[in-house]
Structure 1
């Protein structure tokens, strides 16, 4: 009986999260209420408060689902024992671009980030969390590129900081432009070859360390 009760609680929690994605997509985060989400999920507001402290807590739980999906591949990328760090990082970004188009949760989370008209205390908390995660990923990519140098995948004089900036700018630009104007291109189709081109550039030695003297 206790096991069944735990399973039912998990089912209710997942139903609330799924409903929240649909409601946020329809109304935006700022205009969506917990009552709206409860109605969509077929539960009471009390059920929502049993699982989540408030709307911001619910949103952060949605973010955590996205992060947990990519965590194994992300950890493999940054492992110093990984023999193919660039290959793993490329696979991570490609799976991410596919998810942007195929996974409603992932797409909705990034729409929250980039929707200028959907501003509220809750969405600002999401953006703050994303800024923290972006800093973690920036450091993680530097680890990956350093390991790629040790593995001989990119030249020893490769500028890791410049490479990280290049990769971040490219990926962030792809996501932001697609989320705000999806009619511009198909991120699932065009994102992977863009990343492959960046990594070919890295392997070629174009981003050799040149210092910061602008010469």
Structure 2
């Protein structure tokens, strides 16, 4: 029984990897479940056993990214350094992973496509909104009580962070290039100065 479960997980992973490879190469709308089944070497029945439709596969992509971002927020929450320093370390870790981990970069790029292509799809749009609401709640809990939030609410801080980080991720995806060490240093330094400035305002 245990062997069967392990084999099922291996099959699911093979389908997932074949799926994201095709989605990245052919495009989300242009890739069918049949295409993915052929690429993974499984039957149509097998692929629908693990993913009921293409949207389920797309949700799996977002779920795996969500786990990484959850780890980043946990790191900020558990760091004894200042909030500005903790967030800066998390941002650096994100951009370095995007640059150095091709598998993660592919998932992140696909997530950008999903967010754009499914903005008008009720089912996926609701899922995207729910995921963002969860991100906001977790982030706000992590930063609540920091001196910075005296003059900038946790939600406002989240929106600022999302705009800065998201904008840089989108730029890298569109230009098909990653940030250099110097670029990452500059982005982190800018955020540190920004957060320090907000902190100074809240103390006055």
Identify which of 184, 187, 201 aligns with 2:179.
187
Which ranges in structure 1 are unaligned for 5 or more consecutive residues? 210-215
Does residue 143 of structure 2 align to residue 145 of structure 1? yes
**Match of 1:208?**
201
Does residue 77 of structure 2 align to residue 83 of structure 1? no
Contact 2:75 2:90 in 1 (8 A): no
User: Residues 178 and 121 of structure 1: is their aligned pair in 2 closer, same or farther, counting only changes over 3 Å?
Assistant: closer
**Match of 1:21?**
20
Q: How does 1:1-215 map to 2 (within 5 A)?
A: 2-78=1-77, 82-84=79-81, 86=83, 87-115=85-113, 119=117, 125-126=123-124, 128-149=126-147, 157-160=150-153, 162-183=156-177, 186-187=178-179, 189=181, 190-205=183-198, 208=201
Contact 1:100 1:188 in 2 (8 A): no
- Deviations 1:98-128 (Å, cap 9, x if unpaired)? 2323444443344344449x84699775554
Contact 1:38 1:48 in 2 (8 A): yes
User: Residues 193 and 129 of structure 1: is their aligned pair in 2 closer, same or farther, counting only changes over 3 Å?
Assistant: farther
SS at match of 1:99: helix
Contact 1:93 1:192 in 2 (8 A): no
More deviation in 173-182 or 98-107?
A: 98-107
CA distance in 1 between counterparts of 2:70 and 2:175 reads 28
Aligned-residue Cα RMSD (Å) equals: 3.1
Deviation, 1:15, is 0.7
User: Residues 94 and 121 of structure 1: is their aligned pair in 2 closer, same or farther, counting only changes over 3 Å?
Assistant: closer
- Deviations 1:46-90 (Å, cap 9, x if unpaired)? 1111111111111111221222234333234246xx533624433
- Deviations 1:8-39 (Å, cap 9, x if unpaired)? 11111111111111000111110101111111
CA distance in 2 between counterparts of 1:94 and 1:7 reads 35
Higher helix share goes to which structure? Answer: 2
SS at match of 1:208: helix
Query: How many residues get paired?
Result: 198
Which ranges in structure 2 are unaligned for 5 or more consecutive residues? none
Deviation, 1:197, is 2.2
TM-score (norm 1): 0.74
Contact 1:25 1:108 in 2 (8 A): yes
